[in-house]
C-alpha cells in the first residue's frame, strides 16, 4: 500500500499549500468536498518529481509535493506520479489564473476538477530579524501582490522601490536564504512563518481578496450531486462569426442554467479566435446541465467537460422552476406519449 | 364496412372542397401526403350532421360532408361522426385563419394535422345568364375577396356598390337560388360552375394568392418523417413578462430549428395574454425538433403538439450542420462516456 | 363652419358605435383621450358616403357616419370626407382585427391612431315581441359571437341551429326588418335596443371579453406624452432568415421597451413573408421609444409609425431604471464629452 | 523645447521595445498609426523615472524610457513624466495581458489608446560564448515563453531543467551580467543581441504567435476615422443577474457592431463580479458605434471609453448594410418628419 501523493503549486508557504491543507481537512470531516480518489494505480515514489522546487512534506499518509509550475503539476498527475494536484484557478481581484485555465483546456489525456477550496488572501510585510519598518528602502514581491498593496505602500513606505519576484514565497525565501538587494518581502503569513521572517506589518492588502483553488485528477467517477454544485467546462464557438457568443450563451439560457464565471481564452490559432472557460451553477447529473453540455458539444465537439464538484461557498443552486428535474421528466413523458399514440 | 367520411368547410364550391379533392388525389397516388387514417371505429352514418349547409357528396367510397363552420367540422371529428376534416389554415395574403387556429388550440380532446394542401386562389365575377358586365351595379362577396380584387373593381366597375356576404360561395349561391339585391358575385371558379353562373371576368384578383388547407383528425400514429416535413405547435409564454417571447424563440434557436409561421393568438384571459401558433421546419422524430418541443413544454405544460406532416411545397428541411441527428447522437454518446468513467 | 364628421364601422347598434360615444365623451371631459383634430380642411358634406349601410346620426355638432367596412372608413378619412374614423382593432378573446391591422399597414397616405377606447363586450339573446325562449329553434349571429356564447347555448338551447350572419347587428336588424328564417339573434344590448327587440336572456357570453377600438385620422401633430401612452408600429423583418424575429425584438430589448401586443401579418408576397403589427408601452417622444423606432427603420425603411396616444386602461409605463430619459441624457453628455476633449 | 519621452515595459530587449520602434516608424511614414501627441505640456526631465530597470535610450528626439511594470508606465503618463507609454495588451497564444487590461480600466484620470502595433513573437535559445547546445542542462525563461517552446525543448533538450524568470529579457540579462545557475535563456532575438549572447537555436517556438501592443496617453482629440478602426471599451453588467451578459451583447448586436475581443475581468468586488474588456470593430465617430457606447453607458455609467484608433492589421470594418451611417441619417430624418407633422 502506498500513501497518497498530491502535487501543488509551490514553493511551500504559498496560499496553495494552505488550500491543499483545507481540502484534506474537509475530506477528513466528510464535509462537502469531493473525495480525491486515492486508488489510482501503483505509483512509483522513487524520484522526487520536482527536486529543485522544494521538499516533499509528509503529513499522515499524504505526501505533499511542491512543483514549480501548474504545467508540471498536471504532467505529474497525467503520468501517475501523483494522485492529484492542487492549483489556484481564480482570484477575486486578479481574475482567472491563465496558466491553470489553459493547462486544463489543453491537457491530453483530460483532467477533471474534483474539489475546490477558497482561501482568503492576506499579505504581511516580512523581513529578517532586526529590520525596522523605517529602514525599509526596497521591497520585493510578485507584481500581483504589489498591485493589491499599493495604497498601504504609498501611505507607509512612500518612495520605496519595489522589486518584482517570481512569487511572493520566492521573495520571502530570498530573504531567508541569501542577502538579496531588498530589505523586505510582501508575502503570505504562511511564507513569513516558514522562512522565519519577522512581520513588520500585517494585513496590508488594500481590500479583501480570496483565491479559489481546485483539486484536479484523472477522470473517474463524477462525484454525486449535492444540490450545491459547480460544473466547469471549456466551450468553443461554432464559428468565428458575429453573434457566435450569443449563440453559445443561448445554450445555457434555453435550459435555465446560470453562469458563475466566464472567461475568454485564445485558442492559439490567431487573434480573435477564442474559447471560453466557464463555470456554471449545477451538476452534470441534473438534466438541465446535461442538456446544456450536449448543446455545447453539438456547437463544437471540442467542448471539454472539466468536472462537477461541490461549491466551496456552499451556495445552493438557483434553478428556475421550469428548469427543474421534474419539468424534464414531464416533458420527456409528454413527448413519449405523443409518439406512442 | 363503412365508407370514409370527411367533413370540410362548406358550402360546396369553395376552395376548401378543391383542397379536399387534392388531398384525396395525393393520397391515391401514394404521393407525399400523410394517409388520412380511415379505420377510426364505427361511425353512425344516419344523421346528416349539417343538413342545412349543403349536401353530402359521395365520390368513390368517400363521403364529403360540407359544414358551416370550422368549429362544427372539428366537433364532428371529435365525436367520431366523420373520420377527418379539411379546413383552411392560412392564406398568403390574408394570413392565418383565426377560427382554425383557435379551434385547434382549444379543442379537447386534441386534434392533429396529418396532411396539408395548397390551392391557388383565383376569383371570377359570376352572374346569372343574360347579365352583361356593363349592367352590373351591385356586387356581393366576402370582404376578404373584395379586398383582393379592389384594383380590378376600381378599373372595370368604378362606382359599383359591394355587398358583404358570409362567403364567396354564399354570394354565388344567392344568385342561383333567389333574386338577391345584387347583380354579380366575386367567387371561386368552382362556385361559378357549381351554381351554373356565367363568368363575366376571370382571374380578377390583384395579385396571386394561395391558401393552405389542412386535414385534421384524432391523434394516432404520427406519419413517418420524409425529410420535407412541417410541425405545428401551440406555444405559451412562461409568464407575461418582457422578454418572454425572446425566451420562447431561444428554444428553437438553441436547437437549430427554423420557423415558417408564427402568429400570436389571445388566450382569452385578457389583453396582452398570448399564445403563439407556430409552424416549424422539421418532424417530431428529428431530435432537434423533439428537444425544442420538450423545451417549450418545460416553459409551459399547456404546450400543444398539432402534428408533423409532409410539406405540400415539397421543400427540404434546412438543418444547420451542427443540429443534424448525427450531432445529437455524438453529444449523447459523449455525455454517457463522461458519466461512465 | 362645418360640424365634425366621424366615420365608424356600422351598422348602428354595434359595439363600435358605443366606442365612438365613449371617445367623444372622454374628449368632452378633457380626460385622457387624445383630441381628435377637427380642423382638417373643408369637407364636402353633400353626399352621404355610405348610403347603403345606415343613416348618419347627428349628435351635437358631430355627425356619426356608419360604414360597411373598415376599408371604407379609412378611405373616407383619406379623402377628407370625414375627420376621423373609429374601428375595432383587438378583442381580448378573438385577437387582432385583421381588416383594421392590414388597412392601417397598407394605407397610402398613412393614417395614425390618436385615441383608443375599451368596450366590454356582452351579448344578449334578442327576439321580436311575443317570442318565448322555449320557442327558439334557430338563432342567428356572427360566428365570433356564437363561439363566445357556446356554453350558454348548449345549456339553455340544446339542439338549437345557429345561422351565421355578417355581424351581430345584422342578425338583429334582420329580425326587425323582415321575417328571417331564424327566431332570435345573439347581439349587443345596444343593437337589441336600436331594433326594438325584446331580450330573452342577458349576458350570455361564456367569459368576459373586451374590445379595443381606435380613432384614426390623417397624420398631424402627435399628442403630447402623458406617462401612460401606447405606440403602434408596423415592423418588417430585415430579411426572411431564421433569427430575423429575434433581431427585431432586440431593437426593443436593447432600449428597455416592453411590448403589449405583437401580431404577425402576411405582407402578401407569399407564405412565410411577414410583417409585425406591434403595440409598445411608451410614447415616441420618450428617447427609448424614439431610439427603438429608429432601430426598426434601419432594419427596414418600410417601418410604419401608427401613432402614440394615451392608453385607455390608464396603466403607467413600466420603464426600467436604466432606460429612463435621464439615462439617455447622461449617455449623450458622456459621449459628447469624449469627443470634445 | 523638450524632446518626446515615451515609456515602455522594459527592460530593453523585450518585444515591447520592438513595438515602440514600430509605432514610431509608422508615425514617421504618416502611415495608418495615430499620431502620439507630443505637446503634452512641459515635462521635468531631471529624474530618471525608473532608474533601476534600464537606461533611457535617446533616438532622434525621442527618449525611450524602460519601466519595470505596466502600472509604472501608466503612472508616468498620468503624472506627465512621459508623453505616452507602449505596453503589450494581448498575445495570440497567451491571451490578454491582465496587468494592462486592469490598469486601463482602473486608472484615474483615464488613459486612452491612440495606436496599436503587432509584433510576431519568435524565440531563440541564447547563451554565453563558448556554450554548446549539448552542454545545456538548465534553461531560464518566463513561464509563458517556456510554454510556447515546450515541444522544441522536449525534442532537442530532453530532461533539461527549466528555471522560471521574471521576463525573457531578464533571463538573457542574467547570463550577461552574472553567473547564474542556468546555462541558456529562451528570449527574443533582440534580447540576445542586446546582451551579446550567441544563439544556439533560432525560432524555437512551437507555433507562430503575435503580440499586440498599444500606445497609451492622456485623453485628447480622438483620431479621425479611417474606415479600418478599432474601439476599446470597458463595459459593466447592469446587475449581476443571469442574462446580464446577453443584455450587454444585445447593445452591440442591435446596432450591427462586431466584437474582435471580449475578456472578462473581475471588478474586485468578489467572485462572480465581472466587467468586460472589449475591442470592437469601428470608430466612436460612426453612429452605430456611438449608439452602442451610449447603450452601454445607460446599462452602467461606469462604462469606460478607451480609445478609437486604426487597426494595425489594416482590416476594413465589416458593417452590415442596415447599420451604415446612411441608415442612421435616414432613420433620424424619418423620425424628425414624424414629429414635425
Residues in chain D with CB shorter than 8 Å from the CB of C297 are 327, 330-331, 334-335
Contact predicate A223/A309, CB 8 Å:
yes
Instruction: Provide the pLDDT for residue A55.
Output: 66
Question: ipTM score here?
Answer: 0.82
Which range is least confidently modeled, D23-37, D109-123, D124-138, D224-238? D23-37
Contact predicate A37/A115, CB 8 Å:
no
Residue D20 has pLDDT above 70, yes or no: yes
Alpha carbon distance A163, B120 (integer Å): 83
Mutation target vs B (from A244, A249, A338, A341; most B CBs, 10 A cutoff): A338
CA C200 to mean position of chain CA atoms: 30
Residue C34 has pLDDT above 50, yes or no: no
Alpha carbon distance B302, B238 (integer Å): 10
Helix (H, G, I), strand (E, B) or coil at D288: helix
Residues in chain C with CB shorter than 8 Å from the CB of D341 are 219-222
Task: Name which of D92, D98, D318 is nearest A266 (Cβ-Cβ).
Answer: D92
Q: What phi and psi, each to the nearest 5 degrees, are found at residue D73?
A: -55, -45
Task: Name which of B246, B272, B273 is nearest C253 (Cβ-Cβ).
Answer: B246
Instruction: Provide the pLDDT for residue B33.
Output: 39
Beta-carbon contacts of residue A224 (< 8 Å; ≥ 6 apart): A285
Residue D228 has pLDDT above 70, yes or no: yes
Residue B41 has pLDDT above 70, yes or no: no
Mutation target vs D (from A14, A264, A292, A311; most D CBs, 10 A cutoff): A264
Instruction: Provide the pLDDT for residue A229.
Output: 96
Residues in chain D with CB shorter than 8 Å from the CB of C332 are 294
**Dihedral in degrees, nearest 10, Cα atoms A243, A244, A246, A249:** 180
Q: What phi and psi, each to the nearest 5 degrees, are found at residue B200?
A: -80, -30
- C4, β-bridge pairs: C62
Q: B95-132, pLDDT tens digit by residue?
A: 888 889 888 887 678 899 999 999 998 999 999 999 99
Q: How confident is the model at residue C59 (pLDDT cuts 50, 70, 90)?
A: low
Instruction: Provide the pLDDT for residue A65.
Output: 96
Contact predicate B213/B117, CB 8 Å:
yes
A265 or B136, higher pLDDT = B136
Instruction: Provide the pLDDT for residue A163.
Output: 85
Residues in chain D with CB shorter than 8 Å from the CB of A50 are none
Do the chains contact at A272 and D260, CB–CB below 8 Å?
yes
Helix intervals (H) in D48-207 = 70-78, 98-106, 143-148, 150-156, 168-177, 189-194
Q: Using CA coordinates, name the residue in chain C closest to D284.
A: C339
Which DSSP string do the residues of A170-184 spell out, in sequence order?
A: HHHHHHHHS--S-SE
Do the chains contact at D253 and A243, CB–CB below 8 Å?
yes
Task: Name which of A95, A99, A166 is nearest D266 (Cβ-Cβ).
Answer: A95
Do the chains contact at D251 and C253, CB–CB below 8 Å?
no
| Binding-site residues on chain D for chain C (CB distance < 8 A) | 219-222, 238, 247, 250-251, 253-255, 284-285, 290-291, 293-295, 297-301, 303, 305, 322-323, 327-328, 330-332, 334-335, 338-339, 341
How many contacts, defined by CB atoms under 8 Å, are there between A and D? 120
Q: Which residue's C-alpha cell is 428554444?
A: B251
Residues in chain C with CB shorter than 8 Å from the CB of D247 are 253
Radius of gyration of chain C (CA): 23
CA B244 to mean position of chain CA atoms: 27
Which range is least confidently modeled, A68-72, B290-294, C83-87, D221-225? A68-72
- Residue B24 Cα distances to B38, B87, B232, B306, B308, angstroms: 12, 14, 21, 21, 18
Residues in chain B with CB shorter than 8 Å from the CB of A290 are 335
Residues in chain D with CB shorter than 8 Å from the CB of A318 are 242
Give me chain D's average pLDDT, please.
Answer: 86
Q: C93-110, pLDDT tens digit by residue?
A: 778 888 898 888 876 788
Helix C244-253 crosses helix D244-253 at what angle (to 10 degrees)?
100
Angstroms from B339 CA to nearest CA on chain C: 34
Beta-carbon contacts of residue B212 (< 8 Å; ≥ 6 apart): B88, B89, B90, B91, B92, B116, B117, B118, B312, C271
Residue A231 has pLDDT above 90, yes or no: yes
Q: How confident is the model at residue D34 (pLDDT cuts 50, 70, 90)?
A: very low
Cell of B185: 358575385
Residue B38 has pLDDT above 50, yes or no: no
Contact predicate D284/D222, CB 8 Å:
yes
Which range is least confidently modeled, A21-30, B136-145, B327-336, D185-194? A21-30
Contact predicate B296/B233, CB 8 Å:
yes
Instruction: Provide the pLDDT for residue C107.
Output: 61
Contact predicate C27/C82, CB 8 Å:
no
Task: Name which of B250, B293, B341 is nearest A250 (Cβ-Cβ).
Answer: B250
Q: C264-275, pLDDT tens digit by residue?
A: 888 878 887 889
Cell of A67: 512543483
Contact predicate B91/B205, CB 8 Å:
no
Mutation target vs C (from D298, D299, D325, D341; most C CBs, 10 A cutoff): D298
Do the chains contact at A294 and B328, CB–CB below 8 Å?
yes
Do the chains contact at C98 and B93, CB–CB below 8 Å?
no
Do the chains contact at D98 and A94, CB–CB below 8 Å?
yes
Q: A155-203, pLDDT tens digit by residue?
A: 999 889 888 887 888 899 999 988 888 999 999 998 999 999 999 999 9
Angstroms from D249 CA to nearest CA on chain A: 7
- A141, β-bridge pairs: A164
Do the chains contact at A253 and B238, CB–CB below 8 Å?
no
Residues in chain C with CB shorter than 8 Å from the CB of D327 are 297-298
Alpha carbon distance C169, C153 (integer Å): 19
Alpha carbon distance A194, A255 (integer Å): 49
Q: How many CB atoms lie within 10 A of CB A329?
A: 11
Q: A128-137, pLDDT tens digit by residue?
A: 999 999 999 9
Alpha carbon distance A226, A21 (integer Å): 22
Q: A74-102, pLDDT tens digit by residue?
A: 999 999 999 999 999 998 877 888 889 88
Task: Name which of D92, D98, D161 is nearest A268 (Cβ-Cβ).
Answer: D92
How many contacts, defined by CB atoms under 8 Å, are there between B and C? 118
Angstroms from D265 CA to nearest CA on chain A: 6
Alpha carbon distance B313, B318 (integer Å): 14
Cell of C229: 401612452
Which range is least confidently modeled, B241-255, C16-30, C219-233, D18-32? D18-32
Q: A291-326, pLDDT tens digit by residue?
A: 999 999 999 999 999 999 999 998 898 898 899 999
From the list C330, C329, C113, the residue with the least C-alpha distance to C216 is C113
Cell of C153: 347555448
Helix intervals (H) in chain A = 15-28, 70-78, 98-106, 143-148, 150-156, 168-177, 189-194, 244-253, 287-299, 325-340
Beta-carbon contacts of residue A46 (< 8 Å; ≥ 6 apart): none
On the 0-12 / 13-18 / 19+ scale of CB atoms within 10 A, C24 is buried
Long-range contact pairs involving D128-136 (C-beta distance under 8 Å, separation at least 24)? D128/D175, D128/D176, D128/D197, D128/D198, D129/D198, D131/D183, D131/D184, D131/D198, D131/D200, D132/D200, D133/D157, D133/D200, D133/D201, D135/D183, D136/D160, D136/D183, D136/D184, D136/D200
End-to-end Cα distance, chain A: 59
Percent of chain D with pLDDT over 90: 55
Do the chains contact at C92 and B249, CB–CB below 8 Å?
no
Q: Using CA coordinates, name the residue in chain A closest to D241.
A: A258
Q: How confident is the model at residue C195 (pLDDT cuts 50, 70, 90)?
A: very high
Residue D39 has pLDDT above 50, yes or no: no
Angstroms from B257 CA to nearest CA on chain A: 13
Angstroms from B188 CA to nearest CA on chain C: 19
Average pLDDT over residues A48-71: 70
Residue B150 has pLDDT above 90, yes or no: no
Angstroms from A285 CA to nearest CA on chain B: 8
- Residue C247 Cα distances to C172, C237, C295, D282, angstroms: 48, 8, 10, 20
Helix (H, G, I), strand (E, B) or coil at A20: helix
- Residue B332 Cα distances to B174, B267, B288, B326, angstroms: 63, 37, 13, 10
Contact predicate A305/A104, CB 8 Å:
no
- Helix (H) / strand (E) element for C112: namely strand C112-121
- Residue C220 Cα distances to A158, C175, C247, angstroms: 69, 43, 31
Q: Using CA coordinates, name the residue in chain C closest to B93.
A: C268
Global pTM value: 0.85
Residues in chain B with CB shorter than 8 Å from the CB of C99 are 143, 147
Q: Using CA coordinates, name the residue in chain C closest to D320.
A: C299
Percent of chain D with pLDDT over 70: 89
Contact predicate B248/B240, CB 8 Å:
no
Q: Which residue's C-alpha cell is 524520484?
A: A47
Phi-psi region of B130 (alpha: psi -120 to 50; beta: other; left: phi over 0): left
- Helix (H) / strand (E) element for C152: namely helix C150-156
Q: How confident is the model at residue C263 (pLDDT cuts 50, 70, 90)?
A: confident
Q: Using CA coordinates, name the residue in chain B closest to C267.
A: B93
Alpha carbon distance D266, A92 (integer Å): 6
CA A142 to mean position of chain CA atoms: 18
Residue D87 has pLDDT above 80, yes or no: yes
Local structure of residue C241 (DSSP, 8 states): S
Do the chains contact at A330 and B297, CB–CB below 8 Å?
yes
Q: How confident is the model at residue B2 (pLDDT cuts 50, 70, 90)?
A: low
Do the chains contact at D222 and C299, CB–CB below 8 Å?
no
- Helix (H) / strand (E) element for A92: namely none
Alpha carbon distance C17, A338 (integer Å): 48
Helix (H, G, I), strand (E, B) or coil at B127: strand
Q: What phi and psi, each to the nearest 5 degrees, are found at residue C141?
A: -170, 170
Residues in chain C with CB shorter than 8 Å from the CB of D300 are 322
On the 0-12 / 13-18 / 19+ scale of CB atoms within 10 A, B61 is exposed
Residue D55 has pLDDT above 70, yes or no: no
From the list C141, C148, C153, C150, the residue with the least C-alpha distance to C180 is C141
Residues in chain D with CB shorter than 8 Å from the CB of A270 are 92, 210
Amino acid at each position: 500500500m502506498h500513501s497518497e501523493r498530491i502535487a501543488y503549486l509551490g514553493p511551500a508557504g504559498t496560499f496553495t499549500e494552505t488550500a491543499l491543507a483545507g481540502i484534506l481537512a474537509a475530506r477528513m470531516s466528510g464535509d462537502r468536498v469531493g473525495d480525491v480518489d486515492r486508488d489510482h494505480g501503483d505509483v512509483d515514489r522513487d524520484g522526487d518529481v520536482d527536486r529543485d522546487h522544494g521538499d516533499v512534506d509528509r503529513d499522515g499518509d499524504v505526501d505533499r509535493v511542491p512543483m514549480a509550475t501548474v504545467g508540471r503539476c498536471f504532467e505529474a498527475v497525467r503520468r501517475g506520479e501523483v494522485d492529484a494536484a492542487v492549483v489556484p484557478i481564480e482570484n477575486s481581484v486578479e481574475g482567472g489564473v491563465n496558466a491553470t485555465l489553459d493547462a486544463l483546456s489543453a491537457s491530453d489525456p483530460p483532467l477533471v476538477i474534483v474539489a475546490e477550496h477558497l482561501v482568503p488572501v492576506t499579505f504581511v510585510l516580512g523581513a529578517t530579524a532586526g529590520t525596522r519598518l523605517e529602514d525599509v528602502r526596497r521591497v520585493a514581491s510578485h507584481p500581483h501582490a504589489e498591485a493589491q498593496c499599493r495604497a498601504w505602500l504609498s501611505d507607509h513606505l512612500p518612495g520605496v522601490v519595489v522589486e518584482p519576484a517570481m512569487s511572493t514565497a520566492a521573495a520571502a525565501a530570498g530573504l531567508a536564504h541569501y542577502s538579496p538587494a531588498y530589505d523586505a518581502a510582501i508575502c503570505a503569513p504562511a511564507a513569513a512563518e516558514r522562512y522565519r521572517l519577522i512581520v513588520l506589518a500585517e494585513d496590508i492588502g488594500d481590500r479583501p481578496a480570496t483565491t479559489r483553488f481546485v483539486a484536479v485528477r484523472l477522470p473517474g467517477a463524477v462525484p454525486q450531486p449535492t444540490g450545491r454544485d459547480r460544473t466547469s467546462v471549456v466551450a468553443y464557438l461554432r464559428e468565428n462569426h458575429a453573434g457566435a457568443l450569443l449563440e453559445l450563451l443561448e445554450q445555457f439560457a434555453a435550459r435555465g442554467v446560470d453562469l458563475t464565471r466566464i472567461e475568454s481564452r485564445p485558442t492559439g490559432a490567431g487573434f480573435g479566435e477564442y474559447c471560453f472557460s466557464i463555470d456554471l451553477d449545477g451538476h452534470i447529473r441534473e438534466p438541465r446541465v446535461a442538456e446544456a453540455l450536449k448543446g455545447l458539444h453539438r456547437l463544437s465537439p471540442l467542448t471539454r467537460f472539466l468536472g462537477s464538484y461541490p461549491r466551496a461557498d456552499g451556495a445552493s443552486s438557483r434553478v428556475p422552476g421550469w428548469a427543474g428535474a421534474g419539468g424534464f421528466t414531464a416533458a420527456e413523458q409528454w413527448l413519449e406519449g405523443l409518439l406512442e399514440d
